[in-house]
Amino acid sequence: MNFNTLDTSKTYLITGAAGFIGYYLSRTLLERGCRVIGIDNINNYYDVNLKYSRLEILNPFEKFTFIKGDISDKNMIAAIFEEHKPHVVVNLAAQAGVRYSIENPDAYIQSNIVGFHNILEACRHHPIDHLVYASSSSVYGANHKVPFEESDRVDNPVSLYAATKKSNELMAYTYSHLYKIPATGLRFFTVYGPLGRPDMAYFGFTKQYFSGGTIKIFNNGDFENDLYRDFTYVDDIVEGIERLLCNPPLEEDNVNHRVYNIGNNSPEKLMTFIQTLEKCLSNSLGREVIFEKSFEPIKPGDVPATYASTDLLEKAVEFKPKTSIEEGLQKFADWYCEFYQLSISK
């Protein structure tokens, strides 16, 4: 089976198209010659200039249609499905961030629960070939069994963000069972790369360095029991999604629904990741970069480790992420310095 062959005659609807993963997926599909309908509300959770920069790259594609709107607007979503009749839907629109869910829970219910319900309802009334939606490694909570497997119990989320993503999986399963919607959920593991999200640690560390600030590391300074993360480069994430798009799950036990981990399957200590980022920025700038660091207790909602078993994904589409943090962070560092016009003399 050729997992890289997309049907370019089909229409792909991508929510969150101005977001980090949504942009990369949209660009990849457009480069393949696919028709893409992108939706995004361009909210100000982080710097909207990054979102507009992504859209500037997408807009010249003849087969790209962008609609500014919020998936929590049920009538708008219904009208888009009625007009554009998508064959494949990728729901990446969501209020992201574990820590922000503690400060502003309403945003998560509105986008991640109400918005996703609207997408499911639209798929119910306008049948599609496949719904792919974003879940998160956060659903595993403080699970101490590693690597995390899709069969693990995920009944104890430690953040509202995680709870909404677990809810998405349950909702998609139910709609698949009741209305025969082929659906695939993807549990993303710490995605990073150029044009990424400024709320992610690697981006924030870099910004703090150039502003002369101190980076906060939430591991109590305990290097022996440091936080572990399964950092996954964005190109790997997109390749995994692309392979899955044209391979909806087969019916099993009267439901067409699957959930996959999509991670690097190679967790790194947070301090190792930080040291690699320092080295990559040093390469980009031509001088040594060392972050000023302060160590603090782990934050509520954070988990000590994320580590993805990717066996199911490999079995389904013969794919396993492969980009090393050295390669991925170098690409990020080079992009950051160019995007923000940082010279080696700065």
pLDDT at 220: 66
88-91 and 64-68 strand pairing: unpaired
| pLDDT score of 342 more than 70 | no
Answer yes or no: are the C-beta atoms of 334 and 284 closer than 8 Å.
yes
86-90, 124-128, 140-144: the lowest-pLDDT one: 140-144
CA-CA-CA-CA dihedral for 268, 269, 274, 280, to nearest 10: -30
Domains and CATH numbers, the chain: 11-189+233-262 (3.40.50.720), 201-229+266-307+322-339 (3.90.25.10)
In one letter, which amino acid is 92? L
Q: Please write the tens of the pLDDT for every residue from 289-313.
A: 999 999 888 777 677 778 899 999 9
The beta-strand segments (E) located in the chain are 11-15, 35-40, 64-68, 88-91, 130-136, 183-188, 191-192, 214-217, 228-229, 232-233, 257-262, 268-269, 292-295
Dist. CA 214–CA 340, nearest whole Å: 19
Contacts of 215 (CB under 8 A, 6+ apart): 204, 205, 208, 209, 274, 291, 292, 293, 294
pLDDT given at position 346: 39
C-alpha dist (Å) from residue 161 to 19, 94, 164, 214: 17, 10, 5, 27
Q: How confident is the model at residue 142 (pLDDT cuts 50, 70, 90)?
A: confident
Give 3-state DSSP helix, strand, coil % of the chain, rounded to 5: 40, 15, 40
pLDDT at 177 over 60: yes
Q: Per residue in 188-220, pLDDT tens?
A: 999 999 999 999 999 999 999 999 999 998 876
Strand partners, 260: 186
Per-residue pLDDT tens over the stretch 313-323: 999 999 888 89
Report, as an integer, the average pLDDT of 43-55: 95
Q: Let me know if 175 is a catalytic residue.
A: no
Give the tokens for residue 5.
């062959």
Cα separation, 218 vs 253, in Å, equals 43
pLDDT at 345 over 70: no
pLDDT of residue 202: 95
What is the per-residue pLDDT across 223-280, written as a single tens digit (0 to 9) for each? 666 678 889 999 999 999 999 999 999 888 789 999 999 998 888 888 999 999 999 9
Which pLDDT score, from 0 to 100, does residue 131 have?
98
From the candidates 161, 175, 228, 233, give the one annotated as an active-site residue: 161
Q: Kindly state the DSSP code that residue 185 receives in the 8-state scheme.
A: E
Q: What percent of the chain has pLDDT over 70?
A: 95
Would you place residue 330 in the very low, low, confident or very high pLDDT band (cuts 50, 70, 90)? very high
Is 102's pLDDT higher than 80?
yes
Please state, rounded to an integer, the average pLDDT across all residues of the chain. Answer: 92
Q: Please, which residues bridge with residue 257 across strands?
A: 183
Band of the pLDDT at 344, cuts 50, 70, 90?
very low
Q: What percent of the chain has pLDDT over 90?
A: 76
